[in-house]
Structure 1
Amino acid sequence: MASFFRVLRFLMDDGCEMEVLAVSTTNLCLYVPMVCIAGATYVWRGMGNEPLVIAHGGFSGLFPDSSAIAYQFAGLVSLANVIFWCDVQLTKDAAGVCAPNPNLANNTDISNIFPNQSKTYSVNGFHEVEVPDMNDILSALDLIQGVFSRPNRFDGFFPVVTVNSIPQLSPPGLWLNVEHDVFFTQRNLSMRSFVLSVFKSTIVDYVSSPEVNFLKGLVARLPTGTKLIYRFLGQNDVDPSINQTYGSLLSNLTFIKTFASGILVPKRYIWPVDASLYLLPHTTLVSDAHKAGLEVFASDFANDASFAYDFSFDPVAESLSFIDNGNFTVDGMLSDFPITQSEAIACFAHIGKNVSGQESPLVISSKGASGDFPGCTNLAYQLAISDGVDILDCPVQMTNDGIAICLGSINLLDSTLVAQSPFSNLTTTISELGISNGIFTFSLTWSQIQTLTPAISNPYANYGLTRDPKYKNAGNFMTLSEFLVLAKNASSVSGVLISIEDAAYLAGYQGLDVTDVVLRTLQNASFSTQKVMIQSTNSSVLTKFKKESNYELIYVVDENIGGADNSSITEIKTFASAVVVSKSSVFTDNAEYLTSMTNVVQMLQAFQLQVFVQIFRNEFVSQAWDFFSDATVEINSYVTGAGIKGVVTEFPGTAARYKRNRCLGLGSKTPSYMSPVQPGSLYQLIPPTELPPAEAPNPLLTESEVVEGPLPPVAILAPPPGNGSNLATPPTKSNAQLEVVSSVVPSFLAFLIATLALF
């Protein structure tokens, strides 16, 4: 029968039309729904409506898997039609419970309650603890977090959930996963009989299993509306019911269609990665399965698991690659953190990079896109621009020959491989800077710094989280002048932020006037349409710029504060129009649980000061538990919850995408998955016996901490020995020490004598 196409139009409640393209070929009908956004239509390239979110054991990324609180929380923060997933296990008396695997020791306290009653079974190597009967399990066992890197403060307080009790949790949808039918059959327990009994009293939307024969045994007695899903495990693993590998079954999807409505596959069946965790081209599995009439669900989504480096530790970006890639859409995602997939589907899919976002917050880079490339390199800046940064930043450092460059630290050891260079013998300790055994930018000329290899920062290497190794040493450093040219030519960039630190030391000890160099460089760059911001932790720097320019000035509070007295804010207001504070100065936390919101933002804004917050990172360990290991949830909570006006981030792409999401500005209609977290709400759920020790509050910012005297005059240093030309080879350590320390005394004496001669 020839293919034919039909276009149907449906009028939605809000008056927006939704097109559905129906493609029929012989026994095949593909429905391609479209989501309606602001009058436009966007294709879901799947088999049904928008993709489903399946909550794996509820919100198991935070609470014990399959606990009542995990299910209830998933229902609160996910799409309205979220599906509750239950891994069905049978007890000795054939009662069904929800537990990740037959070994109850992995997610309950059974090892403590019933010690010395364990037995190791040979089937699939499972280790199961025997208990007398069902009543003992229900009355004696409590659930624990089975993933030991996740919070354990809710362990031992929630009982095992039975399959028959799930309806009491009012699940929007229910998915039963039967993983080990053969295993239980060998124990003389019938999983088929149990599931059929559940059908009589409970609406079950999906039943999945990695065993063909189990699903075949349900086909004849399947209730209307219940779908069977064949679950694929590892490609080299074997389905014990038919003794075939899952990899071999991938090429026989028409066989699976004879007994199932869809397939559930690990996400890497769809987007494989190489041995180094980089994405390979996507497979044709989704399109092949859709052509065979099978829905496709992807599993293994977890915000605290390993990501392909291509996603920059951003779980929303990963989810979007499965539903909004221009080629295919999976029909659902199985996740330990269902809030993330809910955001991706409802707020971020189909928005594109060219959609204009809301004005606030300003997305301010931190050394460019320094989460993806070595900071302050051309590549980091170029990626920040293409990712949609609003304000491009340059932390200014000075070279030995007086050139202003962009570099995140005055200590070259922090951002380069100088320790592996011929200049490695230039280490010295400078107490005025609080740095021991550093190699400093002012010890090398610009031409010498250009020979150094950049190094990406890895703030969470201790957690096993290293940033993109392929580009860990990529890119070239830039002078301030080159940076300004780059920013000026980027029409999407609304301004630049120049950060100046250590100005007093550079002037008084190194004879380098960083403020003057920055002023002259900016004047030569002739910025007219883009704003220029000058940032510093030193009021003396900003006071000088206020006298000599009209640039926007930003004061950085370099400590965590719990508040600020009026006099300190009044003083800041005399020289700055904005303030940068730390994340902990806005939301206080204890053991990574938010406890409260300070009045810092409110107080500063009351004095007409904009508030920016630093530093936002995508790695989940940088975030409090309350943000669900999702950088988007964190940004949203600071912006809509605390009202900040700018985010300083090492991953500007994530923040820029946040501004474009369609779930902002909805007022009372804002969905739960885009509502700010309430500080202390999660902390209050912790049982009293598990609360962490109380911590001392952060101090108040006082006027004396803000007020500084003027910058010292620029010291006139004695010329270095030799002919004064740039050094072709690094100086010896003793010469470096002479330049850094010894020359200071005669230079100040000369300055003092010259000054006295004026009187």
Structure 2
Amino acid sequence: MRLFLALSLSLMLASGVNAADRPIVIAHRGASGLLPEHTIAAYTRAIDDGADFIEPDLVPTRDGVLVARHENEISGTTDVASRAEFEDRKTTKTIDGASVTGWFTEDFTLAELKTLRARERLPELRGTANDGRFVIPTLDEIITLAKARGVGIYPETKHPSYFASIGLPLEATLIAALDAAGWRDAAAPVFIQSFEVNNLKQLNTMTGVRLIQLVAAEGGPADGARGSYAEMLTPEGLKAVAAYADGIGPEKTLVIPRGADMRLAAPTRLVADAHAAGLKVHPWTFRAENYFLPADHRKGEDPRAHGDLVGEIRAYLAAGIDGLFSDFTAEAVTAH
């Protein structure tokens, strides 16, 4: 089992991170509330705003290079659908049991992907002023940025079972990149996260860096390793997670639910139960727009307007969390 004390020590040692003194701020896909997600510009803005860690979601190209995209289907975050030369790449695939139609990173070489330009994933809320300005970054480019600026990285392995099934497993490529950066143990400024279980167990045999089991409010791991996320969050389930991971990344309503009036209710026992199992708790995702906020932290009726994100985060900090994912780094830093 990875012990709570060892994790605390490793956080103190993490380069450029004062995580031992306060909960860590994880820039969710970079400063994605301000700039198109998973771009060097978004990561750089998040670092400028005080992030401790920047988060790249990782998917592979056809030639096996890991790049940062929230999903392997990229029509919502790039201009690929408007590119005539790639029209014939549109297809339908089954990803984690769901039928998905679009364009997929595994059908493009890195050189081809580098010709695309990023788009805002939530244009209705965040506009399109920065569409077309930025390229898709590789994991190696993100590591170079993080090392140069003295922050950590918090990569997520996306759909690992699916990619293994098509001959593009993520794990060895990711660990090779971390090893090349000198990031091999719990003192490294790295967390690896996944919604699946078996790939985290595999990673636990390949590296000493810290691992985080992501959990959602509904459903269960796509690899079928457990029946549901709910059973993983019982005291016994959390003990089982602690055998291969250092913490959990729960959907934030699992920490503080919303009542029938959509206001924040009383915290659950999740933080206490996770801490009792020796696990850190890093909930996701904190966003400033009224559309995402609980009713008691909204300002006005416009779903695009920004409400009291700092107040919401402070409620979670009071509940004892150890870190948080936010699209708005500056507000998360202010909340501390």
Counterpart amino acid of residue 233 in structure 1: A
Correspondences of 1:373-452 after superposition (within 5 Å):
none
Correspondences of 1:201-280 after superposition (within 5 Å):
201-202=180-181, 203=183, 205-223=190-208, 226-251=209-234, 252-280=237-265
- How many angstroms does 1:258 deviate by? 0.2
Match of 1:337 among 324, 328, 335: 328
Change (3 A) 1:105 1:32: closer
- How many angstroms does 1:182 deviate by? 1.0
For 1:208 and 1:184, locate their aligned partners in 2 and report how far apart those are by CA, in whole Å.
Answer: 16
SS at the partner of 2:200? helix
Change (3 A) 1:29 1:193: closer
Counterpart contact for 1:182–1:241, Cα < 8 Å? no
Counterpart amino acid of residue 122 in structure 2: V
Deviation sequence 1:10-64 (CA, Å, 0-9, x none)? xxxxxxxxxxxxxxxxx7659999xxxxxxxxxxxxx943000000111110111
Counterpart contact for 2:212–2:246, Cα < 8 Å? yes
SS at the partner of 1:106? coil
Correspondences of 1:111-150 after superposition (within 5 Å):
111-113=81-83, 114-124=86-96, 125=98, 126-130=100-104, 131-138=107-114, 140-148=115-123, 149-150=125-126
SS at the partner of 2:282? strand
Counterpart contact for 1:176–1:207, Cα < 8 Å? yes
What does residue 319 of structure 1 align with? 313
C-alpha RMSD of matched pairs (Å) = 2.2
User: Please, which moves more after superposition, 181-190 or 118-127?
Assistant: 118-127
Deviation sequence 1:631-652 (CA, Å, 0-9, x none)? xxxxxxxxxxxxxxxxxxxxxx
- How many angstroms does 1:198 deviate by? 1.3
Change (3 A) 1:132 1:255: closer
Change (3 A) 1:48 1:239: farther
Change (3 A) 1:30 1:49: farther
What does residue 15 of structure 2 align with? none
Correspondences of 1:168-207 after superposition (within 5 Å):
168-169=144-145, 170-171=148-149, 172-202=151-181, 203=183, 205-207=190-192
Counterpart contact for 1:144–1:152, Cα < 8 Å? yes
SS at the partner of 2:55? strand
What does residue 56 of structure 2 align with? 86
SS at the partner of 2:267? coil
What does residue 186 of structure 2 align with? none
Counterpart amino acid of residue 155 in structure 1: D
For 1:157 and 1:32, locate their aligned partners in 2 and report how far apart those are by CA, in whole Å.
Answer: 40
Counterpart amino acid of residue 294 in structure 2: A
- How many angstroms does 1:84 deviate by? 0.6
For 2:213 and 2:108, locate their aligned partners in 1 and report how far apart those are by CA, in whole Å.
Answer: 33
Deviation sequence 1:593-645 (CA, Å, 0-9, x none)? xxxxxxxxxxxxxxxxxxxxxxxxxxxxxxxxxxxxxxxxxxxxxxxxxxxxx
SS at the partner of 1:299? coil
Identity %: 24
SS at the partner of 1:231? strand
Change (3 A) 1:279 1:105: same
- Structure with a larger share of its residues in strand: 1
SS at the partner of 1:97? strand
Q: Which has the higher contact order (CA 8 A, sep 6+)?
A: 2
SS at the partner of 1:70? helix
SS at the partner of 1:122? strand
What does residue 43 of structure 2 align with? 71
Counterpart contact for 2:161–2:223, Cα < 8 Å? yes
TM-score, length-normalised on structure 1? 0.38
Number of paired residues?
298
Counterpart contact for 1:96–1:163, Cα < 8 Å? yes
Counterpart amino acid of residue 229 in structure 2: Y
Does 1:309 pair with 2:295?
A: yes
Deviation sequence 1:457-498 (CA, Å, 0-9, x none)? xxxxxxxxxxxxxxxxxxxxxxxxxxxxxxxxxxxxxxxxxx
Correspondences of 1:420-569 after superposition (within 5 Å):
none
Deviation sequence 1:109-151 (CA, Å, 0-9, x none)? 111122242111122324451544221111x111110112212
Deviation sequence 1:154-202 (CA, Å, 0-9, x none)? 1111110000111332351111111210121122211112112212223
For 2:274 and 2:326, locate their aligned partners in 1 and report how far apart those are by CA, in whole Å.
Answer: 21
- Find runs of 4+ consecutive structure 1 residues off by over 4 angstroms: 27-33
User: Please, which moves more after superposition, 275-284 or 262-271?
Assistant: 275-284
SS at the partner of 1:73? helix
- How many angstroms does 1:300 deviate by? 1.2
Change (3 A) 1:227 1:29: closer
Counterpart amino acid of residue 297 in structure 2: F
Does 1:286 pair with 2:279?
A: no
Counterpart contact for 1:62–1:151, Cα < 8 Å? no
Counterpart amino acid of residue 227 in structure 1: R
SS at the partner of 1:167? helix
Does 1:160 pair with 2:154?
A: no
Counterpart contact for 2:217–2:253, Cα < 8 Å? no
For 1:32 and 1:86, locate their aligned partners in 2 and report how far apart those are by CA, in whole Å.
Answer: 23
Counterpart amino acid of residue 222 in structure 1: T
- How many angstroms does 1:241 deviate by? 4.1
For 1:339 and 1:286, locate their aligned partners in 2 and report how far apart those are by CA, in whole Å.
Answer: 24
For 2:89 and 2:287, locate their aligned partners in 1 and report how far apart those are by CA, in whole Å.
Answer: 33
- How many angstroms does 1:214 deviate by? 0.3
- Please identify the structure whose Cα radius of gyration is greater: 1
Change (3 A) 1:168 1:28: closer
Counterpart amino acid of residue 314 in structure 1: D
Correspondences of 1:562-711 after superposition (within 5 Å):
none
For 2:286 and 2:73, locate their aligned partners in 1 and report how far apart those are by CA, in whole Å.
Answer: 22
Deviation sequence 1:409-437 (CA, Å, 0-9, x none)? xxxxxxxxxxxxxxxxxxxxxxxxxxxxx
Does 1:55 pair with 2:27?
A: yes
Counterpart contact for 1:271–1:279, Cα < 8 Å? yes
For 2:8 and 2:88, locate their aligned partners in 1 and report how far apart those are by CA, in whole Å.
Answer: 56
- How many angstroms does 1:254 deviate by? 0.2
Counterpart contact for 2:58–2:69, Cα < 8 Å? yes
TM-score, length-normalised on structure 2? 0.83
Change (3 A) 1:329 1:194: same
What does residue 370 of structure 1 align with? none
Counterpart amino acid of residue 81 in structure 2: S
Counterpart contact for 1:98–1:163, Cα < 8 Å? yes
